[in-house]
Amino acid sequence: MARFLAALLCAMAALFTTVAPAVAAAPAGGGRKPGGPPPHLAIRGADVSSLAKSEALGGTYRYANGRRGDALAILRHSGVNYIRLKVWVNPADGYNTKNQVLAIAKRAKALGMGLLVDFHYSDSWADPGKQNKPAAWSSLSFEELKQAVYDHTYDVLSALKAQGTTADMVQVGNEINGGLLWPDGRWDAWPGMAALLGAGYDAVKAVSARTKVVLHLADGGDNGLYRWWFDTAASYGVRYDVIGLSYYPFWHGTLAAFQANLNDVAARYGKPVVVAETAYPFTTADDDGWENIVTSAEPYPGYPATPAGQAAFARDLTNIVRAVPGGLGLGAFWWEATWTGVKGNGWDPADPSSGNAWENQALFGFDDRALPALREFARR
């Protein structure tokens, strides 16, 4: 999601009150035993969607000791065992397409990492405030649109399978609080939304029955939103395997509200839950000349925008996921962990002069070294 726009979109969104390659169901015995150690997280993930472009433009990454290395190898060394990659249909800059997903997936799988593919079904960012159709799909009939969703999903996933890197999890849509592919699949057109989600689900399972389908909403502290959305989805027979949430504490409510919602939806719908997106700043400074979206010295009470504050947030958030009853807390993904301040790797695929507004929330510092939060977030 284009998080740097999220502050402007929050009001609109509020209107909508090693690796486990195939995520298993909850263990039969339930979660943590009284007095026992905290459960391990099956998913300790990082969204690295911007990595291909960063590397092409000269971006570098270093271990905490300063030694230069491959970004994925550094993540894996620190404990990350899953990556997340978004897919756009025909973006202006040619990145975040099937080609980059295939290349990064091959590298990640060689390191023993799992893969979550995040379909936006758009040419650019899809999030609660906008779910724009790809230009090539804009004049399609509804039946043609369903087929396009199926074909696009199948095309990317079958190519991954053909190269031996089958996706382990797939998001059918990104932060779909208000639906997808507006207006046909908007929140006020639930039959259309359900049909489009069904087309994506069918394509995923046609490629690999073991691949888990994730339905992903933003505003992870808003229990009313989640109950409304998933109750309605159930009434329309929408199929899925995992509930995904975005949670950014400076936008999405308190940690207590997030924990309550996470626990409630896991129990109410009997599905595993995964934090598909989260992040926190390690500094208030800027590294690319483009103002950051989060600039407060303490964006959430008790967690200063410092390396130590970022690491503390990573620890506390993962502890909340570990504590989901019944062993239903799968894990979490740090959003755009490798999106550092590389010139040209900005948020707008149509504008190479744009910056990313997010480099102060990556898991690599302005000196390109892995930050303490990386190891804290990825601990077993």
Q: Which residues are tagged catalytic? A: 175, 277
What is residue 122's three-state secondary structure? Answer: coil
Residue in 197, 190, 187 with CA at minimum distance from that of residue 128: 187
| Helix or strand run (H / E) with residue 263 | helix 255-269
What secondary structure letter does DSSP report for 23? P
Q: Which tokens sit at 123?
A: 């040419």
Q: Which tokens sit at 101?
A: 């997903």
130 φψ region: left (φ > 0), alpha (ψ -120 to 50), beta (else): beta
What are the backbone angles phi and psi of residue 245, rounded to the nearest 5°? -130, 145
**Number of neighbours of residue 237 by Cβ within 10 angstroms:** 9
What secondary structure letter does DSSP report for 305? S
Question: What is the C-alpha separation between 80 and 73, in angstroms, rounded?
Answer: 9
Residue in 364, 289, 307 with CA at minimum distance from that of residue 60: 364
Question: What is the C-alpha separation between 107 and 143, in angstroms, rounded?
Answer: 37
Question: What is the C-alpha separation between 2 and 86, in angstroms, rounded?
Answer: 12
Q: Which tokens sit at 16?
A: 């909508």
Question: What is the C-alpha separation between 361 and 292, in angstroms, rounded?
Answer: 9
Question: Omega before 183 cis (within 30°)?
Answer: yes
